[in-house]
Chains A and B, each alone.
Chain A
């Protein structure tokens, strides 16, 4: 009687690795687009970041004397590295990607016990660490120079840029700020949002299609949203968190922009810039670090959105998604503790009271 199997004796055709690889697949179109848009340096940075994440995972597993192959195959390390790469400026030096990926996997994930045990989203925690430790590298943006265009860097120039930090002299003039960064700077100089936006010279369609400067994954809002919707359709993620995040940003933006357009940015710009779409569909939805119940997810998502808007509007950092996600990650256990579905057959008030007491 050593082996008795418990019901159910059937299983849905699903697994952790299927979930992870589907998320990765949903990121592919936007990633390809970003690499095209930003040229070879973007590809090199992406390779270094993902590679470092996988290597770090392998190293940790060996250290813990656990078989590495099945864990690596689940794709979680690849996804962590991928998401981090998408949140970095395309022309950042290689060690930014490597350091961030190793930090994400070793310190944020494996130290907490590996997959499923981490409190914070590894990619976002790493990005926040990098932003605080290396603010210059993390805020140096360049105007996009698509592959095969006249301005594009050659492959050798790209190697020199990414690995040796040699900025070709002709490109120095091209560097520019992201939309949000630009507006933040201009606001401090008492230039109104409307003027700043006009001066930044960026159309909405450019944001939509991502033809502007920014981190790798910040750009192609439309492709990212399409990938996210595909994940919802495939039931890999639910609609709760993405919708709540977007609503959390859109509602205050709508109200205050209507009130004072010169001081507050409009909704569309908010939604389409600063990696919000990436954050809403791919980062805030990380199951490990978000609440488990639908109601908890709505609260979590809306809070992420609201915090993003608050930090963007009143905080010192223009790109607020990472901070908002990390802050709400810390509150996830609390949300899970107090926001739980009402159990069938329990009176709502009594049930929650009983739950809190026990």
Chain B
């Protein structure tokens, strides 16, 4: 009986202590965090995350109302960085492994209207008025803004092609599944 009472009392006291600590010793999250996160984001304001731009997205990340997986152009590298920064677990498994995409201009359809390169956040499309436009692979973030503005549907997105240099080994199939996984 004494044991039960003393343990309960101990539990209550420690719980109270933790609760108070959480209240009074809370780490202040200031706007500094949001701006730090904004610096980590690509900054192309592409809007794929659903926020109007990287700034609002960073604010949402800092307040914890957006998942760290929100930014497709950042890829899994960014997810990990953000998870480290915010001290949360990177849920890369839940995030469908999005293949990096690339914009391609179909030359037969391009009329050289320059709309696409004016919206491109990274200046990845080169061309001049009345000339066929071309996409610089290294600079394209796969945001897809150019697809939306093209009047002749000459721009489309395709997965980044795998080359001999970028090919990597797949993960080996696990051994006999451990019992806990069943």
Contact = CB atoms under 8 A, between A and B. Distances in A.
Interface string A269-305: 0000000000000000000000000000000000000
B94 interface: no
Contacts of A71: 176
B172 A64 contact: no
Interface in B150-173: 169-170, 172
B5 interface: no
A64 B177 CA distance: 10
A70 B180 CA distance: 18
A66 B180 CA distance: 11
Interface string A49-64: 0000000000010001
B50 interface: no
A113 B180 contact: yes
B172 A113 contact: no
Contact of A6 (B169, B177, B178, B180): B169
A176 interface: no
Contacts of A4: 170
Interface residues of B, number: 9
A65 interface: yes
Contacts of B179: 60, 64, 66, 110, 113-114
Q: Which of A60, A64, A65 has the most CB of B within 10 A?
A: A64
A70 B176 CA distance: 10
B182 interface: yes
Interface string A107-143: 0001001100100000000000000000000000000
B180 to A, nearest CB: 6
Nearest to A113: B178
A64 B182 contact: yes
Contacts of A110: 179
Q: Which of A4, A65, A66, A110 has the most CB of B within 10 A?
A: A66
B172 A66 contact: no
A64 B182 CA distance: 6
Sort A-B residue pairs by CB-CB distance and give the 10 closest, nearest first: A64-B179, A64-B182, A113-B178, A114-B179, A113-B180, A113-B179, A65-B182, A6-B169, A110-B179, A114-B178
